[in-house]
Amino acid sequence: MAETKPKFNYSLLRRVIRLSIPYKKLFYWTIVLAIIQAPLGILRPHIINVMVDDHVMKNELSGLGSLVWWYMLVLLATVWLRYIFILWTNTLGQSIIRDLRTWVFNHIIDLRLTYFDKTPIGTSTTRTINDIESINEVFSEGVITILADILGLIAVLVIMFVVSWKLSLICLTTLPFLIYASYLFKEKVRVSFQQVRTHIARMNSFLQERISGMRIIQIFNAEQHEKENFRKINRDYTQANIDGIFYYAVFFPVVELISAASLALMVWWGAKGVLQGEVTLGALVAFPIYLTMLFRPIRFMADKFNTLQMGLVAAERVFGILDNQSKIVNEGKEVVKELQGNLEFDQVRFSYDGEHEVLKGLSFKVPAYTTLAIVGSTGSGKTTIISVLNRMYEIQGGEIRIDGKNIREYELTSLRRRIGIVLQDVFLFGGTVLENITFRHSGIGMEQVVHAAKQIGAHEYIERLPGGYEFIIAERGSNLSMGQRQLISFVRALVFDPDILVLDEATSSIDPETESVIQYAIEKLIEKRTSIIIAHRLSTIRHANQVLVMDHGEIKEIGTHDELLEKQDGWYKKLHEYQFARMAEI
């Protein structure tokens, strides 16, 4: 259940309002309109009052026509100003959340991977879409409209007491009941809205994971189980909405009852006042309009205050992301256009959670233009080496040096441009093959892409696709084979011409026929550049200059393929014999 907050967070409201600074002129004009509408709104019933008392009751029709025109003019002005007010407040809100979406997305992109390791994708999606949309309502339905309603209420109360203070007091005897009912409604709906926000974030996370992993769900015949899970989540979300609807269903009839009671008191006492000469007939005619103008804003103000409160709850969640400063510190000054590729790990220590070390004092060197193969069991820390080399994560101890300099001395963007990585799980975005290779980089032309594809033997495979390089890739590349996706990722790595290349399990999921093509691509990729190859299949790393064997974050052996095979009871030899024995059995 969402945690409720008993006190209104004024500092958070000020922070939200500060988002309007780029549009401060529009913000100020909406406040001016709110101020103008207050006295303008009470003119219509006042004109009716004058028409009845000064003309109808005195049988003086000469000035009645002009008052009718004034009434129409005030009505048109009120409607026009209301139209402008609604248009400007919504324009202000939409402009702010447009900028805020960009700000949040840009911030999320720069966060460390630890944020994405701990935060479900659906949660970030909810923050960037649903919660930011709620912030819009702070401006379109919240603080400015509440200000307009409060000013309108003050104006109505003032004119009511000026016209007849006795009649006003009689009418306001029910006001404490309305205020108390509005307060209860506000509190109940606030809790309900918080529950709705919590459940919709949960639903988004669930759907994101299940739709992305639909293949696994169907493979393991888990459809029925997931249907039941979603049915429960959907039922909880629906119940949270129904709870809110219930409070609305109770509140609005109660308000109508209180309003009717106030009107009945006004008619009873007002009619007696007219007969006794204490109240004019014009006041009696105008007062029902005043009561409507009084009770209607109070009725909706509770709802608007909840809208404001929920907008602030959403804002707090969005600001929680923006306040997350877990970014890679980019204080390096060295901007490089080319690296030789001399790579050195010196007593490198790293932990994902700050407690359990994944890399335990790792030390090795990779001379420029050579290839290092890293092998080891699952969880030994092989992929972590890639992550810390590219500064996706920051190490807790030791140093990583490239060309003799600590990688922290390099400007982060320029460093990553010189390091190419091909992952085992190739991620392709919706769009064309060409767009996935170049990421729409303006400096990369079609000729460069084709040249890179031909270099590694991928061009003819891409040309076989319908449309060739303009073939539209489905989400995550689901309309391509694993081999086709891997080839595209190789072209993507080569077209940026990196100085250091990392291949992570690049052939682990490839069929033997495609493996020969991939193997040729790998050999072309690692030519004339420093390379690190992580592989389960030892047959793919024979051409490596040296092999590093890891286990539980430590180096067990390092040497050439032949040197390690000559070691009696060596780790690499055992892995080699075990793997090829398994292949022989198959």
For 501, the 3-state DSSP assignment is strand
pLDDT in tens, 238-269: 988 888 888 888 888 888 888 888 888 888 88
**Is it the case that residue 3 has pLDDT exceeding 60?**
no
Tell me if 547 is assigned to some domain.
Answer: yes
Question: If pLDDT is split at 50, 70 and 90, which confidence band does 364 have?
Answer: very high
- Residue 492 falls inside a structural domain: yes
Report DSSP state, residue 506.
T
Domain co-membership, 560 together with 438: yes
440 and 348, same structural domain?
yes
DSSP 329: -
The tens digit of pLDDT for each residue in 451-476 reads 888 887 888 888 989 999 999 988 77
- Whether residue 258 lies inside any domain: the answer is yes
User: Which residue range forms the structural domain that includes residue 204?
Assistant: 11-322
Q: Rounded distance, CA 282 to CA 45, Å?
A: 9
pLDDT digit string, tens, across residues 292-320: 888 878 777 777 877 787 788 888 889 98
pLDDT in tens, 192-223: 877 887 888 888 888 878 887 787 788 778 88
Query: 367 and 306, same structural domain?
Result: no
Asked if 120 and 212 touch (Cβ cutoff 8 Å), the reply is no
Q: Judge if 396 and 459 occupy the same domain.
A: yes
Q: What pLDDT, on a 0 to 100 scale, did the predictor assign at position 582? A: 56
> Residue written as tokens 């009716």?
48
The percent helix, strand, coil of the chain (3-state, each to 5) is 65, 10, 25
Q: Kindly state whether residue 557 falls inside one of the protein's structural domains.
A: yes
Question: Which of the listed residues 322, 352, 379 is the one where a domain comes to its end?
Answer: 322
**For residue 2, what pLDDT is reported?**
43
Residues 82 and 157 in one domain: yes
306 and 350: one domain? no
Question: Has residue 505 got a pLDDT over 50?
Answer: yes
Q: Do 61 and 192 share a domain, yes or no?
A: yes
Structural domains of the chain, count: 2
Domain identity same for 571 and 507: yes
In this structure, what CATH number is given to the domain that contains residue 94? 1.20.1560.10
Domain boundary residue, one of 322, 354, 385 = 322
Q: Are 135 and 16 a contacting pair, CB within 8 Å?
A: yes
Calculate the average pLDDT of the chain.
83
Task: Tell me the pLDDT band of 506, cut-offs 50, 70 and 90.
Answer: low
Question: Is residue 334 a part of any domain in this protein?
Answer: no
Q: Residue 139 gets which letter from DSSP? A: I
Res. 25: pLDDT tops 90: yes
pLDDT band at 355 (very low <50, low <70, confident <90, very high): confident
Q: How far apart are the first and last CA of the chain?
A: 53
Q: Is residue 508 part of a domain?
A: yes
Indicate whether 245 and 383 sit together in one domain: no
Residue 306 is assigned to a structural domain of this protein: yes
349 plus 495 within the same structural domain: yes
Question: Of 443, 496, 435, 444, nearest to 470 (Cα)?
Answer: 435
Partners of residue 371 on adjacent β-strands = 531
Q: Are residues 308 and 368 in the same domain?
A: no
Torsion, Cα of 418, 421, 426, 432 (10° steps): 20
Determine if the pTM surpasses 0.75: no
**Residues 455, 521: contact at Cβ < 8 Å?**
no
Q: State how far the Cα of 258 lies from the Cα of 250, in Å rounded to an integer.
A: 13
pLDDT of residue 4: 45
**CATH code at position 522:** 3.40.50.300
Report yes or no on 408 lying in a domain: yes
Same domain flag for 138 and 227: yes
Strand boundaries in 437-510, DSSP class E: 472-473, 500-504
∠ CA 146-151-157, nearest 5°, is 125
Residue 190: pLDDT band (50, 70, 90) is confident
